[in-house]
Amino acid sequence: MQILSRIDCGDLLLSVMNLGKIAHTHYRSLLTCVFISLFAIPPSFAQQIEAISAPNQVESALRNEQALPIDSQLYRVEMLDWLDPGRQRAVPAKLYLPTLSLTSQKLPLVIFSHGLGGSREGYSYLGKYLASHGYASLHLQHVGSDRSLWTGSRFTLLFRLAGAANDAEAIARARDVSFALDQILGSDLGVQFDTDQIFVAGHSFGANTAMLVAGASVMNGEQEIHLQDKRIKAAILISAPPFYGKGNVKKILADIAIPSLHITSTQDDINIPGYGSGVEDRIKVFNAMSVQTQAEKNLLVFKDGSHSIFTDRMNTGGEELNPKVKLATRSAIRVFLDHLRAKSELNLKNWQQDYAALLAQFEINTK
């Protein structure tokens, strides 16, 4: 079963980390070729490889704090360290909460899944912003595909990354989401949350995780895999790749019956020796989504940018463009969720007008 994407959290090297999803008959030879290419490619390319070392996500978060300030009095953070005894798997999480609730109403909850090589510290610009606007945002850390992959020699990095991109980890990530929901809703914190307003979001590999819990249906041989969590009421998919090697993507995503927001950019692509993938892959996911159920789906494509511009990294996709895209992305997510809760299209239409200069394509409420 190959149910993961080939695209992940960097613009260059980080696409290679999903080579584990290539058919087994080609896996070793292609992985070896990519590894050898570290020594055969031009020096400029090698320098880019070396520059993409383990992302310091705490440092990235601090840079975000400077470029995209959020009043720290508007949110608070809870660090959570769970263990799923049935799987003997740790599920760390970071919960962003509004400091004060303006009403007695319970809080909507967003659960966020990071890309390959990430952690619960990532995407802080989204967590802080959502909390400051009345949402709880629970950022998971998937221990089988988290930042620990960056530890060790860079010469074996490709093997570590490819090794983490396996079918068992794809399933484990989706189960992390459901386990985390069980834990947070069953804890003392759980009384704060509105169980009718639980949403999932993810970037890249995390977007695949989000699609699985949203109802994507994939085959493992003759067995159909179902990992849907029906508590999830909408999905936010950032840089979402197709499920390579699993056949018609429309069949995989056709029965997803919840609203979705798809976010990408025209330069949300990877170019390495022997492999390329662009924004067209994200568009394929959007076009395939919910074709059977006709659930609401919306598409937002920024001009230019990069694959990792949607992470906390401030040095990718253009120095001036990067913070603008982050501001627009976090605003779009809030507006989308507000729209769902208010059952109104007005805010989404206004958002499009406000950020028109940044957009290459926007399809609203497409059925």
For 284-324, the pLDDT digits (tens) are: 999 999 999 999 999 999 999 999 999 999 989 999 999 99
Is the pLDDT assigned to residue 350 strictly greater than 90? Answer: no
Burial of 286 (0-12, 13-18, 19+ CB in 10 A): buried
**48-52, 110-114, 272-276: range with highest mean pLDDT:** 110-114
Interaxial angle between packed helices 205-214 and 167-186, expressed in degrees from 0 to 180 and rounded to the nearest 10: 70
**pLDDT at position 125, please?**
97
Q: What 3-state DSSP class applies to 230?
A: coil
Q: What 3-state DSSP class applies to 249?
A: helix
Q: Tokens 């069953």 — which residue?
A: 186
Contacts of residue 176, Cβ cutoff 8 Å, sequence gap at least 6:
84, 89, 91, 113, 140, 142, 209
Is the pLDDT assigned to residue 148 strictly greater than 80? Answer: yes
Count of domains forming the chain: 1
**pLDDT at position 162, please?**
76
Q: Tokens 């979402």 — which residue?
A: 240
In a domain, 6, yes or no: no
Q: What 3-state DSSP class applies to 97?
A: strand
In a domain, 3, yes or no: no
- What one-letter code names the amino acid at 94? K
- Averaged pLDDT of the chain: 83
In a domain, 198, yes or no: yes
Burial 49-59 (b: 16+ CB within 10 A, else e): beebeebebee
Q: What's the pLDDT band for 9 if we cut at 50, 70, 90?
A: very low
**pLDDT at position 103, please?**
55
Q: How many CB atoms lie within 10 A of CB 69?
A: 9
**pLDDT at position 57, please?**
63
**203, 5, 236, 284: which is closest to 110 by C-alpha?**
236
Q: What 3-state DSSP class applies to 63?
A: helix
Domain CATH code at residue 344 = 3.40.50.1820
Specify the range with the lowest mean pLDDT, choosing from 14-28, 209-223, 303-317.
14-28
Bridge partners (DSSP) listed for residue 193 = 107
Rg over alpha carbons for the chain, rounded to the nearest Å, is 19
In a domain, 319, yes or no: yes
In a domain, 2, yes or no: no
What is the C-alpha to C-alpha distance for residues 35 and 365, in angstroms, rounded to an integer?
43
Checking DSSP bridges between strand 136-140 and strand 217-220, what pairing results, if any?
Answer: unpaired
Burial of 245 (0-12, 13-18, 19+ CB in 10 A): middle
In a domain, 235, yes or no: yes
Q: How many CB atoms lie within 10 A of CB 150?
A: 17
Secondary structure of 109-129 as H, E, C letters = EEEEECCCCECCCCCHHHHHH
Predicted TM-score of the model (pTM):
0.85
Bridge partners (DSSP) listed for residue 217 = 226
Domain with 278, as residue range(s), is: 13-366
In a domain, 244, yes or no: yes
In a domain, 7, yes or no: no
Is the pLDDT assigned to residue 245 strictly greater than 80? Answer: no
Q: What's the pLDDT band for 31 if we cut at 50, 70, 90?
A: very low
pLDDT, tens digit (0-9, with 9 covering 90-100), for 154-203: 888 878 877 787 888 999 999 999 999 999 999 999 999 999 999 999 99
Distances (CA, A) of 200 to 67, 113, 210, 225, 240: 26, 8, 6, 19, 13
- What one-letter code names the amino acid at 58? V
Contacts of residue 328, Cβ cutoff 8 Å, sequence gap at least 6:
302, 355, 358
Do the beta carbons of residue 281 and residue 7 sit within 8 Å?
yes
User: What element of type H or E holds 337?
Assistant: helix 321-342
Q: How many CB atoms lie within 10 A of CB 108?
A: 22
Specify the range with the lowest mean pLDDT, choosing from 110-114, 243-247, 331-335.
243-247
